[in-house]
A and B are shown apart, each in its own frame.
Chain A
Amino acid sequence: MGHKKAHTTLYLIAVIASLLFLDAQAFGFKTPQNGDVLPDINIPVPHNETERDYLGIKGGKFFQIPRIKAAVVIMEIFSMYCPYCQREAPEVNRLYKLIEDDPGLRGKIKLIGLGIGNSTFEVEVFKKNYGVPFPLFADKDFRFHEAFGEVRTPYFIGVKINADQSHQVFYSKLGGFGRAEEFLKLAVRLSGLYEGGAP
């Protein structure tokens, strides 16, 4: 009995020790790459009506990214505490404006941000400081971050959402995307947004 207890204790210690050397990827959370689908995360539906309208999300407490009413979603994984995210913020805002100012793209490409390790307060500080015009979501407990394979920030993921609600990642990259104009062209091309003819 004593031996059995000792074995159980040793086993537990060994498992816990091994966990010290594991990261999210070892638990099956990997960063989605081109052609992959997104991890199944539930994002709280925004309280703000303008943001709900932008996303085309009606009702419910949570939504999944493929439910966003768009042909393409570009998501930024960021942190209020990340200097590079702070530096990139104006260019990401410019990307939003380029999309919204283009009648052919407005409503088809939507942006969202996930503030990893950030509280709602911290995400709001980032949003207000940089005048971020698209919805940002707090990930205080790093759950989204974990699901996305614990990427560094800023990290951009482009997702094509098909008419049948299926989706594929077409862009997955660490770091800023450079000039908004070039990135937008790239996103349109890689997503195949205009395949079958431009609107």
Chain B
Amino acid sequence: MRRSGMGMGILVSLTIALMSTAALARSAAFKNNIYDPGQLKPVDSALRVRVGEPAPDFTLPAITGEHITLSRFRGSKNVVLSFVPAAWTPVCSDQWPGYNIVKDLFDARDAVLLGITVDTIPSLFAWTQQMGELWFPVLSDFWPHGEVADTFGVLRSNGTAERAIFIIDKAGIIRSIMVGDINKRPPLEDLIRELDKLGDS
């Protein structure tokens, strides 16, 4: 009896978990354009950097045609790196459009945002066009494939990136790492709270 109750508990928990994540990416902006990969292993990589270490420098092409080098912000801006797994997938399509309306929150914390995926520039360009005009650079870590994601330790075994956020201060030091469940969008307040900590030091 106790065992069957436990089984039912597991069943109910699984049902709630499945239904809650299936509900993401429901904006009509992406209707019929989203490939749903289903439930994925929450995290599928091992970090190669730690809080307190200097962030590995990189240069990546942006969809605007320019190349962005991380170290160019050193001494002037805090940097938020937002890795998302892949273009045209459910949760990712539901993340950056939110960041797009909170430039003021980043500005108030002297921070810039860099969005990164392992997709090609044309794919990223087409995908982000659905989001409206983004105020932050969108970078392609396509070739050498996922090299930057791998350097940070957020390249998954299938070649996509984790849903991860790195906060790097003006001295180029990693101050916060958030590698979340790939199936869920991280709450905005978590990111803002971490950014606020930079001001405390």
A binding-site residues for B, Cβ under 8 Å: 8, 12, 15-16, 19-20, 23-24, 27, 79-87, 116-117, 119, 121-122, 125-126, 129, 140-142, 145-146, 150-154, 174-175
Contacts and interface: CB of A to CB of B under 8 A. Distances in A.
B46 interface: no
A59 to B, nearest CB: 29
B47 interface: no
A45 B52 CA distance: 44
Interface string B184-196: 0101110010000
26 contacts: A8-B7, A12-B7, A12-B10, A12-B11, A19-B11, A19-B15, A23-B22, A24-B19, A79-B26, A79-B27, A81-B27, A83-B100, A83-B130, A83-B132, A84-B28, A86-B100, A116-B26, A117-B23, A117-B94, A121-B189, A122-B189, A125-B188, A129-B101, A145-B23, A150-B23, A175-B28
Given A79-B94, A84-B29, A175-B28, A121 B187 contact: yes
Interface centre among A81, A83, A129 (most CB of B within 10 A): A81
A90 B189 CA distance: 24
A20 B31 CA distance: 21
B115 interface: no
Interface residues of B, number: 34
B27 A152 contact: yes
A141 B21 CA distance: 9
Contacts of B11: 12, 15-16, 19
Contacts of B22: 23, 150
A20 B132 contact: no
Contact of A146 (B19, B31, B38, B39): B19
B98 interface: yes
Interface in B161-201: 185, 187-189, 192
Contact of B187 (A84, A122, A154): A122
Contacts of B102: 125, 129
A6 B101 CA distance: 53
B98 A81 contact: yes
A137 to B, nearest CB: 16
B27 A126 contact: no
B24 interface: yes
Contacts of B100: 83, 86
Interface string B51-92: 000000000000000000000000000000000000000000
A142 B27 contact: no
Contacts of A82: 26-29, 94, 97
B126 interface: no
B43 interface: no
Contacts of B14: 16, 19
A86 B102 CA distance: 12
Contacts of A27: 19
A119 B189 contact: yes
A11 B194 CA distance: 45
B43 to A, nearest CB: 20
Nearest to B99: A81
Contact of A86 (B24, B26, B101): B101
Contacts of B132: 83, 86-87
Contact of A117 (B24, B38, B97): B24
The 4 lowest CB-CB distance pairs between A and B, nearest first, are A82-B27, A81-B98, A121-B189, A142-B23
